[in-house]
Amino acid sequence: MGAPKQKWTAEEEFALKAGVAKHGSGNWRTILRDPEFSGILFLRSNVDLKDKWRNMRVTANGWGSREKARVALKKSRAILKHDDNPLSLSTEVESVDDELIDYKPPEISSEIVQITGSKRPVSKMEDLIIEAITCLKDPKGSNKTAIAIYIEDQHLTPPDFKRLLSVKLKEMTGEGKLIKVKRKYRMAPSPAMVEGRKLKASHLEVRQKETSKEDRDDKSIAKLQVDAELAWMRNMTAQEAAAAAAQAIAEAEKAMAEAEEATREAEAAEADAAAAQAFAEAAMLTLKNRNTTKLSECSMNKFIQIAQGHRYHL
DNA sequence: ATAGGGTTATCC
DNA sequence: GGATAACCCTAT
């Protein structure tokens, strides 16, 4: 009753080879995060990549199977123990890498960890579905189309994505991970949810504080636009996200004040754009200066979308 | 997070 | 039923 085996496509294999060529064997997570490959390998986890690479390298050689390869390796290790020349093994092993692909050792890249404007890589379809349902937060559940649109919005997806989604939804429903009522899917209840409600309740206090602040006079279109974004933030469920948002709002309002200052001399339309951009920048700065891993997936996605909406990129 | 041993599904 | 590929488990 387990999940059906998902065979690797030629395209996926190619992407894996290219990924190893670029980042080196062993840097599976890095390969997965690379926008160049994430679109193709988005269904695979880092462990999947590792396992596949193992399979590929054993079949690429004379050894027909992993078992034989393992035995052969043990043998050569045993020989090494009594051998005066340790190089005999190392050359042999290195050639394995070189034969399969133009393998480049990982170089120290000084690239800053970047969350670019492009879609984020992920590992598994199941995670994507859970993320979509959670973020859509429809109490009655979300239908397949809504889930598909959400995921396609956030991530690069292959042509047969909808079919894969259908298969996975059915599977997860069968496993009891999802509840399906009238073509709508929602998360199956779990003990952890009790905790979630408490967090949501405590967040209400944060929300009300913010609301009073926003009710200030302001007819600027930019302000309204920002309010819409703030409205979303007030709906965030995760406590961490609420904390981050509160700080982002503080930053944004400061930025707004400055932007409005500029409005007096500039054209109104220009000012709106500047204010909106200032907001995105402030929100992004706030996020960057925080431990972003603590943020919920939903909030991160939404922030990225806001930034993209303002054509602002990290 | 990765490596490697172990297990299961699938194909012949 | 064995070989293989995909998946799982666990130590580091």
Nearest to A22 by CA among A101, A100, A94: A101
Q: Say which residue the tokens 């279109």 belong to.
A: A221
Find which nucleotide's C1' atom is closest to A30's CA.
Answer: B1
Which residues on adjacent β-strands are paired with residue A180?
A185
| Protein-covered nucleotides on strand B (Cβ within 7 A) | 1-6, 8-10
Give the CA A283 to C1' B7 distance in Å: 47
Alpha-carbon torsion (A14, A18, A21, A25), positive or negative = negative
Is residue A304 a contact partner of residue A120, using CB atoms and an 8 Å limit?
A: yes
Nearest to A134 by CA among A301, A305, A289, A20: A301
CATH placement of domain A125-187 = 1.10.10.10
Q: How far apart are CA A312 and CA A248, in angstroms?
A: 16
Which residues put CB within 7 Å of chain C, the nucleic strand?
A 2-3, 5-8, 44, 47-48, 51-52, 55, 58-59, 64-68
**What pLDDT was estimated at residue A32?**
94
According to DSSP, the β-strands at A178-181 and A142-143 are unpaired
Is residue A314 a contact partner of residue A288, using CB atoms and an 8 Å limit?
A: yes
Nearest to A130 by CA among A114, A115, A142: A142
Give the CA A71 to C1' B5 distance in Å: 13
Domain parsing of chain A, residue ranges: 10-100, 125-187, 192-309
Q: How far apart are CA A184 and CA A311, in angstroms?
A: 34
Tokens representing A88 are 């005999």
**What pLDDT was estimated at residue A126?**
80
Q: CB under 8 Å to A302, separation ≥6 — which residues? A: A232
Is residue A43 a contact partner of residue A50, using CB atoms and an 8 Å limit?
A: no
Question: A1 beta carbon < 7 A from strand B?
Answer: yes
Tokens representing A179 are 């509840």
Q: From the first residue on, what is the mean pLDDT of each consecutive set of 10 residues in chain A (314 residues)?
A: 79 91 93 90 94 85 60 47 42 40 36 32 69 87 91 74 84 82 85 44 40 39 43 40 47 50 40 45 48 50 52 37
- C-beta within 7 A of nucleic chain B, residues 14-73 of A: 25-30, 46-47, 50-51, 54, 70
Radius of gyration of chain A (CA): 25
Helices (H), chain A: 10-23, 28-33, 35-41, 46-59, 66-82, 87-100, 125-136, 144-154, 161-174, 192-214, 221-234, 239-263, 268-288, 297-309
Work out the number of other CB atoms within 10 angstroms of the CB of residue A128. 25
| DSSP output for A233-268 | HHT---HHHHHHHHHHHHHHHHHHHHHHHHHTTS-H
Nearest to A222 by CA among A266, A254, A265, A270: A270
